Structure 1
Amino acid sequence: MTVTETDDLVIADSGIEGDVGTGAEIFNIVANARFAPDEVKNRLSLTAFKLRLTGRAFSWSAGPNSADMPFGFVELMAGKREAAMCARTADISGAGPYPDLEIRRVRTPEELADYARILAADWNPPAVTVVEFYDRVTPSALAEDCPAHYLLGYHHGEPVSAGEIFLHAEVAGIYNISTLPASRRRGFGGAMALAAVDRARAAGYDTVAIRASADDEPVYRGLGFRSGGWYTEYPVPIVPLEDRGHTTREQLISIGFEHVHVENERYDGPQAGVADISGVPHYFVRLNSLFEDGDQFSVWPIDDESFALEQEGWRLYVKAWDAGDRKPARLVELDALLEVRRTTPPAMARTMFAQWRFDERDARHDDRGPTYMMRWR
């Protein structure tokens, strides 16, 4: 899971796979676009192009800073529209006791799973991606210092409603007010919102904010929130890998593939070698776990000395292969010297997935490396 923030854009990528409508898009978010007028079409086009090719659907949130952006230029259609609402905690009455709903903070993995199940029920069928997300973040979500406080509402001992209060930047954001279909229209959503405000007030926050659908906007207005404008979400659907048609190095780079410097072992695809990950050379060793969308590798940064020796060895290997010669003595020496370095992952090694694709070069390899590139996540 990553958050990328530039001078004119924020992209939150949860790593959750899935197309629009599966729930993945609520965790993969593009926001706060502030493109310069003379760059807006180019930045919009390039960003949407790259997002579509990740295999993960995104939701582009257009608020006041980007309300006039020409999304039609990149064939993005407006989706959900929500009111941006806020209030002073002093202006909203306390939740008080609610006879049919006991609201308490999520404290255990089992309670967080119930929270996820309630949110997932907003989709038909229920969104498995929502359950997957909260399962992945359980340790962080349950940490005492987590800025997100997850709330569950219990009706006669059964969890039926959920909500979140996120404490950050002197504003408490209220999110994911949700109730199971069979328990709706009983005032549980309003009670959950007021409970969230109570928690913000107790934490010393003077301002709360919430985004509300057109149906919910009058409800929150009745609680004391005031509307300050609208957000429109533009779903960014994925493009299946088999339909992407990119083969040149330039095209592959544009969708996130990176250079492979050295191939030390190959069998039905890359097994071991040296490749760039976010522009930095790393050793990689395949873990022999096969997945539909890529292979699993152990990766770790390569030091400058080893990198220089690996490049020297690669050039000697290519020259001998092309000439049909045996390994030169120097290459045998380098293989022995580098054997442990290239096959023994250190304690700080990471596990990552990679797809690999051939580029336009006809040969099996050249001095620059093998004729394929790899995309990591």
Structure 2
Amino acid sequence: MSMTSLAGIPAQQLAAAADDNMAVHASWAQERLPGAHVVRGADLVLVDSGLPCDTFNFVLRARLDAATAQARVEQAIDHFRRTRRPFSWWVGPADEPENLGELLRTAGLEPAESEVGMAADLHALHADREAPRGLAIARVRTAAQLQDFARLLAANWTPPDPDVVRFYEMATPALLSDDAPLWLYVGYVGDTPVATSELAVGGGVAGLYNISTAPAHRRQGIGRALTLRPLLDARDAGLRLAILQASADGLGLYSQIGFVATGQITEYKPPGEAAP
């Protein structure tokens, strides 16, 4: 499938929509936290959650003028140096200038990992398989469900990251509001929470994030089910396109569902933080 076959949207326009979507994912809840600092400028988005956790601190969606880009890069990085909080700078196909990665290296950041940007037409999903028996998927509506979501995500670190749990505790009122553009999901087997996913509505597209399955429940189709449920909800809500960032482990699954690659997205970090 060519990029232009995705509802006729050119690749660069879709990449820009994906950046706008990620900005919603990365900043909407943080804007509503006490002590957070969020700048949503025309030239970039800077998100400082106030927590010492780069899971919630970002720079992204750069649209920098080539003549002043290096100085703007240094200015953004200096914010996190002053606050002594870790962060990530995400660079995708729509970011400007084209040599942004080189400018980040000059400023002292290092590439940490790369993922594949992907997109899908929600009306062409391959969603014919039934969910695994015994799996119930709930869209998060209560504080208890949100706590389950947070604890599952925190368990992706060893030991579990308490700042992840803290973030969702602080963001609970915002995330449970009716107008939240972040739709969170938890998969349960019996009473046990086993998987998560998030759908962000922004940039005219649906963005998938935080797809995670507890190790003991992997390779059972649960991750696929937690991927499809938000996509089908987004389609029912009238959205046409979905985007995501895929690690090497997820490429096969997302391709089976109907996603196609749209470009590479690279995460940059300060030295030391970029180490695996």
Contact in 1 for aligned 2:116/2:265 (Cα 8 Å): yes
Which among 103, 110, 115 is matched to residue 82 of structure 1?
A: 115
Following TM superposition, where does structure 1 have runs of at least 4 consecutive aligned residues deviating by more than 4 angstroms?
A: none
**Bigger Cα Rg:** 1
Aligned counterparts of 1:156 and 1:40: Cα–Cα separation in 2:
52
Which among 67, 73, 76 is matched to residue 38 of structure 1?
A: 67
Could you list the runs of 5+ residues in structure 1 that have no partner in the other structure? 19-23, 240-377
Report whether the alignment pairs 1:215 with 2:240: no
Question: In the TM superposition, what whole-angstrom CA distance separates every residue of 1:183-226 from its partner, at most 9, and x where no partner exists?
Answer: 22222111110111111111111111111112211220111001
Question: Which residue of structure 1 aligns with residue 204 of structure 2?
Answer: 170
Contact in 2 for aligned 1:58/1:237 (Cα 8 Å): no
Contact in 2 for aligned 1:48/1:236 (Cα 8 Å): no
Question: Which residue of structure 1 aligns with residue 15 of structure 2?
Answer: none
Question: In the TM superposition, what whole-angstrom CA distance separates every residue of 1:3-55 from its partner, at most 9, and x where no partner exists?
Answer: 20223111122111x2xxxxx11211100112222222222222212222212
Q: Given the two structures, how large is their TM-score scaled by the length of structure 2?
A: 0.79
Deviation at 1:238, TM superposition (A): 10
Report whether the alignment pairs 1:6 with 2:41: yes
Contact in 2 for aligned 1:106/1:112 (Cα 8 Å): yes
Residues 228-237 or 120-129, more deviating? 228-237
More strand, by proportion: 1
Structure 2 letter corresponding to 1:93: H
| Percentage of identical aligned residues | 37
Q: The residue matched to 2:243 in structure 1 has which SS?
A: strand
Question: In the TM superposition, what whole-angstrom CA distance separates every residue of 1:97-156 from its partner, at most 9, and x where no partner exists?
Answer: 431321111111111011000111111111111101000010111112211111000113
Question: Which residue of structure 1 aligns with residue 152 of structure 2?
Answer: 118
Question: Which residue of structure 2 aligns with residue 63 of structure 1?
Answer: 92
Question: In the TM superposition, what whole-angstrom CA distance separates every residue of 1:67-126 from its partner, at most 9, and x where no partner exists?
Answer: 622222112110121111111111103364431321111111111011000111111111
User: How many pairs align?
Assistant: 233
Question: Which residue of structure 2 aligns with residue 323 of structure 1?
Answer: none
Contact in 2 for aligned 1:161/1:177 (Cα 8 Å): yes
Question: Which residue of structure 2 aligns with residue 26 of structure 1?
Answer: 55
Contact in 1 for aligned 2:114/2:267 (Cα 8 Å): yes
Q: Given the two structures, how large is their TM-score scaled by the length of structure 1?
A: 0.59
- Spell out the pairing of 1:169-318 with structure 2 (5 A cutoff): 169-236=203-270
Question: Which residue of structure 2 aligns with residue 135 of structure 1?
Answer: 169
Question: Which residue of structure 2 aligns with residue 157 of structure 1?
Answer: 191
Aligned counterparts of 2:248 and 2:99: Cα–Cα separation in 1:
21
Question: Which residue of structure 1 aligns with residue 126 of structure 2?
Answer: 93
Aligned counterparts of 1:59 and 1:159: Cα–Cα separation in 2:
29
| Cα gap change, 1:229 to 1:128, in 2 (>3 Å) | same
Report whether the alignment pairs 1:72 with 2:105: yes
Q: The residue matched to 2:77 in structure 1 has which SS?
A: helix
